[in-house]
């Protein structure tokens, strides 16, 4: 039955109305998956031989010690990006097909997601290396089976708590508390991790723990999904009572203030936009990558990190204008909404968050003022230049967004546009190149000043640039309306 459902999905893909664009996106995703596969396999080699030759420790024991952190990160990533798809299943509910088969198909399908199996490449490669270095064959196999089942548990945990934000916040607080206790050596979290996971190698019968938990959670998830598996219950769009909110002082600023007011309320109320806020917060720590690879310490990559650290909200929110308003965009176009004020409201909101990110990013000064001033310059460039370019690229993004469901699909077909890609040149490559060259020839001060001047010039020319952006939105108006109305 599983193979039959899979064949139907393949037929649906090739018979779709947008086969060319869908195929292009699949190819790009496949290239991305290949890249991460290579990273996982290469990371296994690096982890094993670095620990063995540089640290002169037992690689299997050291990796086991830190896998608890990888397990927690895996659960967080799955909660943010992985969701059990139900759209392709709904038509089968009216057919004479056992619901048990449909539920099992949906549960099995979650394991086909790259988020589920990519980490297995690291474990498998690491295990093969361990076998070639004299480790016990049976012990390595039980270690591999144990951690594989342990990580696959996250699929079921994600399903059970996916739409329960309160529970997710509580679990997040528990993770943070445990991390804090481990960091300050109140509780030796890493030691417990080492004892458990390395125990899969030393004491093979311990793998019964994750195996029993795996099948137990499978049964619990099956019952949970099966109980909600009706078109008029679990698969029905959730209805909520509306509530009136108003940020009064913003209304003093006319139309722009009203638009900002509405956007802030949208960010606070909806699942997708809450995810944007969470993602923007995590972007603040993107600069930590400079301590995991030497390539990030080059001037160009330092600027690259600065653009993301200070512009996370800008990139996640700005390029989806007007997609966030897709549900009522046709209505807006009948009300003679002033395009310029509409876009300026988004621009001011983006820049307020960017300015706050610049201030919060001051903790990078702990790693050196040169790091922070680079990020500061990147923030100025984001405010003066990238904020407008991001809104410009939004004109070509015609992906509908359902604000009532968590958006976890990256790179959807309507967001794939050559013009948006070309705009990456002034958004990313230009500041990286200018900063790297200025710093190389004239020093750090010249690099920071050059990026700051570009940001200042963009800010001063904002009215002219907005006129160009408004014209672009008007040119794309009818194709955007057609895309937002067309569910296919």
Q: 2 in a domain, yes or no?
A: no
How far apart are the C-alpha atoms of 114 and 256, rounded to whole Å? Answer: 42
Residue range of the domain that includes 66: 20-227
Mean pLDDT (the chain, rounded): 80
Could you read off the pLDDT of 308-324 as tens digits, one per residue? 889 888 888 887 887 77
Structure tokens at 235: 């698969």
Structure tokens at 304: 């690259």
pLDDT given at position 243: 46
Does 288 share its domain with 410? yes
pLDDT given at position 240: 46
Structure tokens at 113: 């997601």
| Residues 6+ away with beta carbon under 8 Å from 136 | 201
Q: 280 in a domain, yes or no?
A: yes
What is the average per-residue pLDDT within 81-86? Answer: 66
Would you place residue 292 in the very low, low, confident or very high pLDDT band (cuts 50, 70, 90)?
A: low
Q: In this predicted model, which residue has the larger pLDDT, 187 or 23?
A: 187
Could you read off the pLDDT of 56-81 as tens digits, one per residue? 889 999 999 999 888 988 888 888 77
Query: Quick check: 322 and 398 in contact, CB under 8 A?
Result: no
Query: Quick check: 304 and 275 in contact, CB under 8 A?
Result: no
How far apart are the C-alpha atoms of 382 and 465, rounded to whole Å? Answer: 15
Does 214 share its domain with 302? no
Would you place residue 85 in the very low, low, confident or very high pLDDT band (cuts 50, 70, 90)?
A: low
Residue 418 pLDDT exceeds 60: no
What is the average per-residue pLDDT within 277-296? Answer: 73
Residue 410 pLDDT exceeds 60: no
Name the least confident of 126-140, 327-341, 370-384.
327-341
pLDDT given at position 173: 83
Residue 128 pLDDT exceeds 90: yes
pLDDT given at position 86: 56
Would you place residue 413 in the very low, low, confident or very high pLDDT band (cuts 50, 70, 90)?
A: very low
Q: 177 in a domain, yes or no?
A: yes
Count of CB atoms situated within 10 Å of the CB of 149: 19
pLDDT given at position 456: 93
Does 277 share its domain with 128? no
Does 223 share its domain with 260? no
> Measuring CA to CA, which residue among 26, 21, 24 is closest to residue 10?
26
Does 374 share its domain with 406? yes
Does 220 share its domain with 272? no
Long-range contacts, 200-209 (Cβ 8 Å, 24+): 200/64, 200/142, 200/143, 200/145, 200/146, 200/147, 201/60, 201/64, 201/135, 201/136, 201/139, 201/140, 201/142, 201/143, 202/139, 204/138, 204/139, 204/142, 206/146, 207/142, 207/145, 207/146, 207/149, 209/146
Does 294 share its domain with 352? yes
Residue 211 pLDDT exceeds 60: yes
Cis ω for the linkage preceding 182 (within 30 of 0): no
Does 211 share its domain with 257? no
User: What's the domain count of the chain?
Assistant: 2
Residue 409 pLDDT exceeds 50: no
**For the chain, what percent of residues have pLDDT higher than 90?**
20
Residue 417 pLDDT exceeds 70: no
Long-range contacts, 464-473 (Cβ 8 Å, 24+): 465/388, 466/340, 466/343, 466/344, 466/347, 466/388, 467/340, 468/392, 469/343, 469/388, 469/391, 469/392, 469/395, 470/339, 470/340, 470/343, 472/392, 472/395, 473/322, 473/339, 473/343, 473/395
Residue that terminates a domain, selected from 173, 196, 227: 227
Largest pairwise CA distance in the chain: 74
Residue that terminates a domain, selected from 196, 227, 258: 227
Q: 35 in a domain, yes or no?
A: yes
Could you read off the pLDDT of 344-401 as tens digits, one per residue? 888 888 999 999 999 998 888 888 888 889 999 999 999 999 888 888 887 777 777 7
Name the least confident of 19-23, 236-240, 430-434, 484-488.
236-240
Q: 73 in a domain, yes or no?
A: yes
Does 295 share its domain with 422? yes
Does 84 share its domain with 184? yes
Q: 13 in a domain, yes or no?
A: no
Would you place residue 296 in the very low, low, confident or very high pLDDT band (cuts 50, 70, 90)?
A: low
What is the average per-residue pLDDT within 144-155? Answer: 92
Could you read off the pLDDT of 451-479 as tens digits, one per residue? 999 999 999 998 898 889 888 888 888 87
Residue that terminates a domain, selected from 175, 195, 227: 227
**pTM of the shown model:** 0.58
Residue 425 pLDDT exceeds 80: no
Q: 314 in a domain, yes or no?
A: yes
Does 167 share its domain with 259? no
Residue 268 pLDDT exceeds 70: yes
Residue 11 pLDDT exceeds 80: no
How far apart are the C-alpha atoms of 415 and 326, rounded to whole Å? Answer: 13
Does 215 share its domain with 277? no
Q: 12 in a domain, yes or no?
A: no
């Amino acid at each position: 039955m599983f193979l039959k459902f899979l064949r139907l999905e393949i037929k649906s893909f090739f018979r779709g109305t947008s086969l060319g664009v869908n195929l292009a996106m699949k190819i790009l995703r496949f290239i991305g998956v290949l890249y991460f596969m290579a990273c996982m396999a290469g990371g296994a080699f690096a982890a094993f031989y670095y620990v063995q030759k540089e640290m002169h420790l037992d690689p299997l024991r050291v990796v086991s010690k830190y896998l608890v952190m990888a397990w927690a990160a895996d659960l967080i990533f799955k909660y943010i990006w992985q969701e059990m798809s139900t759209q392709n299943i709904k038509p089968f509910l009216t057919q004479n097909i056992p619901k048990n088969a449909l539920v099992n198909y949906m549960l099995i399908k979650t394991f086909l997601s790259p988020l589920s199996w990519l980490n297995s490449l690291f474990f498998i490669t690491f295990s093969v290396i361990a076998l070639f270095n004299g480790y016990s064959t049976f012990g390595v196999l039980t270690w591999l089976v144990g951690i594989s089942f342990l990580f696959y548990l996250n699929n079921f945990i994600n399903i059970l708590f996916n739409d329960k934000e309160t529970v997710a916040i509580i679990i997040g607080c528990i993770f943070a508390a445990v991390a804090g206790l481990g960091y300050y050596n109140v509780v030796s979290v890493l030691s417990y991790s080492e004892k458990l996971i390395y125990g899969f190698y030393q004491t093979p019968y311990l793998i019964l723990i994750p195996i029993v938990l795996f099948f137990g959670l499978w049964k619990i998830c099956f019952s949970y999904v099966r109980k909600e598996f009706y078109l008029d219950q679990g698969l029905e769009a959730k209805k909520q009572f509306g509530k009136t909110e108003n940020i009064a002082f913003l209304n003093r600023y006319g139309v722009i203030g009203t638009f900002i007011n509405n956007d802030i309320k949208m960010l606070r109320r909806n699942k997708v936009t809450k995810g944007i806020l969470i993602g923007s917060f995590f972007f603040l720590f993107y600069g930590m990558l400079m301590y995991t690879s030497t390539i990030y310490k080059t001037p160009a990559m330092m600027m690259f990190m600065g653009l993301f650290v200070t512009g996370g909200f800008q990139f996640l929110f700005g390029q989806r204008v007007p997609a966030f308003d897709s549900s009522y965009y046709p209505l807006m176009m009948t009300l003679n909404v002033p395009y310029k004020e509409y876009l300026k409201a988004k621009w001011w909101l983006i820049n307020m968050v960017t300015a706050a990110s610049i201030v919060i990013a001051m903790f990078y000064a702990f790693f050196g003022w040169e790091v922070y001033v680079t990020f500061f310059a990147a923030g100025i460039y984001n405010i003066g230049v990238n904020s407008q370019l991001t809104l410009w690229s939004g004109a070509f993004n015609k992906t509908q967004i359902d604000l009532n469901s968590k958006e976890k699909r990256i790179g959807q077909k309507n967001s794939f546009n050559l013009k948006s890609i070309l705009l990456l040149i002034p958004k990313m490559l230009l500041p990286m190149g200018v900063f790297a060259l200025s710093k190389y020839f004239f020093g750090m001060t010249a690099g920071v000043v050059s990026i700051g001047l570009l940001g200042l010039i963009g800010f001063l020319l904002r009215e002219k640039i907005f006129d160009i952006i408004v014209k672009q939105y008007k040119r794309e108006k009818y194709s955007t309306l057609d895309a937002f109305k067309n569910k296919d």
